[in-house]
């Protein structure tokens, strides 16, 4: 049985009049749209307390011929069991205090597969690890003449390795493999899907308070949600291939329409349409920064951005720290200065993600052997306090000013928050040492960096106790410290560190508190390395709005940086992300981050895929030796800025900052003295950002992905606005609608 947590933050009452068949709206009770429930094959438990402010006020739940349900006596939970009549999408309708709440339910489409190895005398131990195990090593089952692993997997591609005698090996009986991005390969198991036969909806036309959608494949059923209310069938006319939807004339508030569709073969793409005053929004000027799909994020490391106040420039004075890992002087005033001189306006970004600004230790910690050095906490991820601003970055007054100046220019500001661990000097550790997980495992070894094997308890380092979020008192204290930042300051959201290392109870509690204690929308995005299923398990309206799409990023780096990597890999990764997170998700599409070598250094060959990128940064002076890497980075920007999700630029990637891994990828930002190539790249990024900001198709359009002759064609369409992006990785010029695309290049066609 799988437990799904969902929060419905906005609800509306639609009372149908027999005379005029119009819809009346009531005041919304909260914020946000209800995300779908992804059902399991058996029972799925939904916590009603996540989406109803007071579940005890539930009057009833509408019965369905497609599933059975049981609700607990305290009305806090409902268990849903689909039956054989359950079609691909159904609805859960809840009545509470006379109001209706509707939640889409998605049928489970997993297939049971068996991966096996014949027994051999030399096999002393046999295990498996892969995306479907979240890369944990799982022993195979002894089935007589075979070793077997049984799993339920969704249609698509799944990477894995066998672990034979504690050594990772490809499946000797499966010839399909894929690059792991580190100089090696993983075996690839593929389950065919039928998505080519499912409906694909495109918005065709709009007229006053109605609009039309079209699908080449036949449509069996359409479900339309306005806000969190299922639109009555009288407003939805469905022929075999077309859908006409009428917006009730009495519904005048700004909101979203969500359209879900299916046929015999499965669930089709989802459609999201913003509306205002009873009409479809077709002009980006009607959107605001609280329409989170419009965000274009810029991630800056405060200490490495700009020193705006030399009075707080105070590197740790110790011979044990090399300058490369000491404080450089960047601060909050430096960010204010760049807001004031229109740096962000000029580039076009509208959301600033700040690295953690809480107080970090005053002394050196950690160790690197070659060259020998300790580290300062310049990055902000070693919190000595969870609520005090680091004196090297500024104070509360400066931070308040930063937010005020950003909001004057209509920017969102996100704060990086660290909940998973604290520094050993944090008062919490002294007052509550029992709040930390055990540093030692039962076998006596240290539980250090066991990211997958012990993801909820592992420590990042011996001086960074991981908090035990299985304890309710830890959840309460740490969620309170996070809520402090959005109630004390006018923040717009969080980037959450180490998301998968914290129990889901924390995220549900935090989101509930934020919902109840703030007045404006708060965007929350997490950081999880793992399978799409693990990543998605933290993404719904009861927890996070999105996470960074690292699997898509890995495919992007491999394809754009390496000539020999086929474009099909990226097309498959993009298609997979749309299936897992939806066609209008709020996942983050990154150009890089503080934990990866710079893309441009991979693309130029100055950092190799088969080497330790961190060692490379310490042992070599990474420069740029192949200027073609600038164009490869431009293609990565073009991909991120034209596909669904939230584009996120890591500071310096707009002009091509070089670097190996941490700390070489955290060089000091530069704002002038660009080379010609750097200027050209930055200007192209500005053009791409402007295109995205002014195109409804790139913000809310449908997304169709095709591959032909090692070229990927992405089509985005929103009524009359249509954008086609072609990435040609072949060695031949290709022609698309009379437009020539040269080898190893891209073109954007905007009607």
Is residue 577 situated within a structural domain?
Answer: no
Mean pLDDT of the residues in the chain:
93
Instruction: Name the nearest CA neighbour of 250 among 403, 563, 25, 47.
Output: 25
Would you say residue 20 has pLDDT above 50? no
Q: Are residues 72 and 132 both part of a single domain?
A: no
pLDDT band at 26 (very low <50, low <70, confident <90, very high): very low
**Domain end point (choices 264, 281, 298):** 281
Our CA angle for 272, 276, 280, nearest 5°, is 50
Cβ neighbourhood burial of 317 (10 Å; 0-12, 13-18, 19+) = exposed
Would you say residue 486 has pLDDT above 80? yes
What's the confidence (pLDDT) of residue 28? 37
What's the confidence (pLDDT) of residue 3? 40
Q: Are residues 179 and 98 both part of a single domain?
A: no
Sorted by sequence, the CB contacts under 8 Å of residue 347 that are 6+ apart come out as: 298, 654, 682, 685, 686, 689
What's the confidence (pLDDT) of residue 380? 98
pLDDT band at 199 (very low <50, low <70, confident <90, very high): very high
Q: Are residues 88 and 205 both part of a single domain?
A: yes
Is residue 300 situated within a structural domain?
Answer: no
CATH of the domain at 134: 2.60.40.10
pLDDT band at 31 (very low <50, low <70, confident <90, very high): low
Higher pLDDT, 28 or 556: 556
What's the confidence (pLDDT) of residue 96? 85
Burial 60-93 (b: 16+ CB within 10 A, else e): ebeebebbebebeeebebbbbbbeeebebbbebe
The 10 Å Cβ neighbour count of residue 749 is 15
Q: Quick one: what percent of the chain has pLDDT higher than 90?
A: 89
Residue 380's SS3 state is coil
pLDDT digits (tens, 9 = 90+) for 727-742: 999 999 999 999 999 9
Q: Are residues 72 and 13 both part of a single domain?
A: yes
pLDDT band at 97 (very low <50, low <70, confident <90, very high): confident
Q: Are residues 102 and 119 both part of a single domain?
A: no
What's the confidence (pLDDT) of residue 497? 98
Q: Are residues 149 and 94 both part of a single domain?
A: no
* 29-38, 187-196, 340-349: least confidently modelled range: 29-38
On whether the CB atoms of residues 468 and 422 are closer than 8 A, the answer is no
CA 623 remoteness from chain centre: 31
HSE-CB for 678 with a 13 A CA cutoff: 13
Report the alpha-carbon distance of residue 640 to residue 632 in Å, rounded: 13
What's the confidence (pLDDT) of residue 183? 81
Q: Are residues 115 and 104 both part of a single domain?
A: no
Kindly state the average pLDDT of the residues 704-724.
97
Query: What is the Rg, in whole angstroms, of the alpha carbon atoms belonging to the chain?
Result: 26
- Maximum separation of any 2 CA atoms in the chain, in Å: 83
Is residue 227 situated within a structural domain?
Answer: yes
Kindly state the average pLDDT of the residues 118-126.
93
Report the alpha-carbon distance of residue 278 to residue 290 in Å, rounded: 19
* 9-13, 203-207, 500-504: least confidently modelled range: 9-13
Is residue 586 situated within a structural domain?
Answer: no
Q: Are residues 20 and 93 both part of a single domain?
A: yes
Q: Are residues 64 and 209 both part of a single domain?
A: yes
Q: Are residues 23 and 92 both part of a single domain?
A: yes
Instruction: Name the nearest CA neighbour of 491 among 390, 593, 420, 411.
Output: 411
Q: What single string gives the DSSP state of each residue in 507-538?
A: HHHHHHHHHHH-SS--EEEE---S-HHHHHTT
Is residue 7 situated within a structural domain?
Answer: yes
pLDDT digits (tens, 9 = 90+) for 512-559: 999 889 989 999 999 999 999 999 999 998 999 999 999 999 999 999
Would you say residue 653 has pLDDT above 50? yes
Would you say residue 310 has pLDDT above 70? yes
Higher pLDDT, 239 or 7: 239
Q: Are residues 116 and 181 both part of a single domain?
A: yes
What's the confidence (pLDDT) of residue 93? 95
- DSSP 8-state secondary structure symbol assigned to residue 438: P
What does the H/E/C string look like for 390-459? CCCCCCHHHHHHHHHHHHHCCCEEEEEECCCECCCCCHHHHHCHHHECCCECCCCCECECCCCCCCCCCE
pLDDT digits (tens, 9 = 90+) for 619-633: 999 999 999 999 999
Sorted by sequence, the CB contacts under 8 Å of residue 388 that are 6+ apart come out as: 358, 359
pLDDT digits (tens, 9 = 90+) for 671-699: 999 999 999 999 999 999 999 999 999 99
On whether the CB atoms of residues 4 and 38 are closer than 8 A, the answer is yes
Note down the domain range covering 122: 111-153+156-191
Q: How many domains does the chain have?
A: 2
Is residue 167 situated within a structural domain?
Answer: yes
What's the confidence (pLDDT) of residue 12? 33
**Domain end point (choices 247, 281, 315):** 281
Would you say residue 278 has pLDDT above 80? yes
**Domain end point (choices 265, 281, 297):** 281
* 80-89, 179-188, 389-398, 640-649: least confidently modelled range: 179-188
Q: Are residues 180 and 268 both part of a single domain?
A: no
On whether the CB atoms of residues 647 and 640 are closer than 8 A, the answer is yes
Is residue 205 situated within a structural domain?
Answer: yes
Report the alpha-carbon distance of residue 280 to residue 274 in Å, rounded: 6
Is residue 228 situated within a structural domain?
Answer: yes
Would you say residue 181 has pLDDT above 80? no
């Amino acid at each position: 049985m799988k437990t799904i947590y969902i929060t419905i933050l906005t609800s509306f009452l639609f009372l149908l009049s027999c005379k005029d068949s119009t819809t009346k709206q009531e005041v919304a009770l909260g914020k946000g749209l209800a995300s779908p429930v992804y059902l399991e094959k058996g029972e799925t438990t939904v916590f009603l307390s996540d989406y109803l402010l007071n579940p005890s006020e539930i009057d009833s739940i509408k019965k369905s011929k497609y599933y059975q349900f049981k609700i607990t006596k305290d009305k806090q939970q409902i268990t849903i069991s689909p039956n054989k009549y359950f079609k691909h999408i159904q609805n859960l309708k809840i009545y509470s205090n006379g109001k209706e709440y509707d939640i889409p339910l998605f049928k489970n489409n997993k297939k049971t597969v068996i991966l096996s190895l014949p027994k051999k005398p030399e096999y002393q131990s046999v295990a498996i690890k892969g995306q479907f195990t979240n890369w944990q090593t799982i022993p195979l089952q002894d089935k007589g003449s075979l070793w077997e692993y049984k799993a339920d997997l969704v249609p698509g591609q799944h990477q894995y390795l066998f672990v034979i005698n504690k050594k990772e090996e490809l499946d000797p009986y499966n010839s399909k493999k894929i690059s792991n991005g580190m100089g090696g390969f993983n075996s690839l198991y593929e389950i065919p899907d039928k998505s080519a036969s499912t409906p694909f909806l495109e918005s065709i036309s709009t007229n006053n308070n109605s609009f039309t959608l079209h699908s080449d494949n036949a449509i069996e059923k359409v479900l339309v949600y306005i806000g969190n209310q299922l639109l009555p069938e009288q407003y939805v006319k469905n022929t075999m291939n077309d859908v006409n939807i009428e917006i009730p004339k009495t519904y005048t508030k700004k909101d979203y329409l969500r359209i879900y569709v299916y046929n015999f073969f499965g669930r089709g793409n989802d459609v999201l349409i913003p509306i205002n005053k009873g009409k479809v929004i077709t002009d980006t000027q009607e959107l605001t920064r609280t329409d989170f799909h419009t965000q274009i994020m810029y991630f800056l490391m405060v200490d490495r951005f700009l020193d705006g106040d030399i009075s707080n420039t105070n590197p740790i004075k110790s011979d044990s720290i090399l300058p490369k890992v000491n404080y450089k002087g960047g601060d909050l005033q430096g960010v204010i200065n760049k807001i004031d001189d229109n740096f962000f306006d000029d580039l076009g970004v509208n959301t600033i993600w700040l690295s953690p600004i809480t107080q970090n230790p005053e002394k050196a910690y950690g160790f690197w052997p070659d060259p020998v050095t300790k580290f300062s906490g310049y990055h902000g991820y070693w919190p000595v306090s969870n609520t005090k601003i680091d004196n090297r970055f500024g104070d509360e007054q400066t931070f308040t000013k930063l937010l005020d100046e950003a909001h004057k220019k209509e920017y969102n500001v996100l704060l990086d928050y660290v909940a998973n661990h604290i520094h050993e000097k944090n008062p919490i550790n002294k007052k509550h040492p029992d709040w930390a997980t055990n540093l030692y495992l039962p076998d006596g070894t240290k539980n250090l960096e066991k990211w997958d094997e012990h993801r909820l308890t592992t420590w990042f380092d011996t001086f960074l106790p991981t908090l035990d979020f299985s304890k309710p008192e830890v959840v309460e204290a740490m969620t309170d410290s996070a809520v402090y930042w959005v109630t004390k300051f006018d923040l717009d959201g969080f980037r959450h560190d180490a998301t998968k290392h914290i129990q889901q109870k924390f995220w549900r509690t935090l989101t509930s508190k934020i919902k109840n204690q703030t007045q404006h929308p708060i965007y929350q995005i997490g950081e999880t390395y793992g399978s799409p299923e693990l990543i998605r398990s933290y993404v719904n309206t009861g927890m996070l709005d999105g996470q960074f799409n690292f699997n898509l990023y890995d495919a992007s780096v491999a394809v754009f940086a390496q000539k020999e990597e086929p474009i099909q890999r990226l097309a498959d990764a993009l298609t997979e992300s749309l299936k897992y997170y939806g066609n209008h998700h709020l996942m983050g599409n990154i150009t890089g981050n503080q934990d990866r070598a710079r893309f441009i250094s991979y693309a130029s060959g100055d950092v190799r895929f088969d080497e330790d990128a961190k060692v490379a940064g310490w042992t070599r002076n990474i420069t740029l030796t192949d200027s073609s890497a600038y164009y490869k980075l431009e293609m990565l920007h073009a991909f991120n800025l034209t596909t669904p999700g939230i584009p996120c630029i890591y500071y310096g990637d707009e002009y091509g900052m070089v670097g190996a891994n941490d700390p070489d990828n955290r060089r000091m930002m530069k704002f002038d003295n660009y080379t010609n190539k750097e200027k050209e790249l930055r200007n192209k990024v500005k053009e791409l950002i402007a295109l995205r900001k002014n195109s409804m198709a790139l913000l809310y359009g449908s997304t169709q992905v095709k591959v032909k002759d090692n070229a990927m064609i992405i089509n985005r369409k929103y009524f009359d606005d249509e954008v086609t992006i072609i990435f040609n990785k072949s060695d031949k010029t290709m022609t698309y609608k009379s437009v020539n695309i040269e080898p190893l290049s891209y073109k954007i066609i905007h009607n």
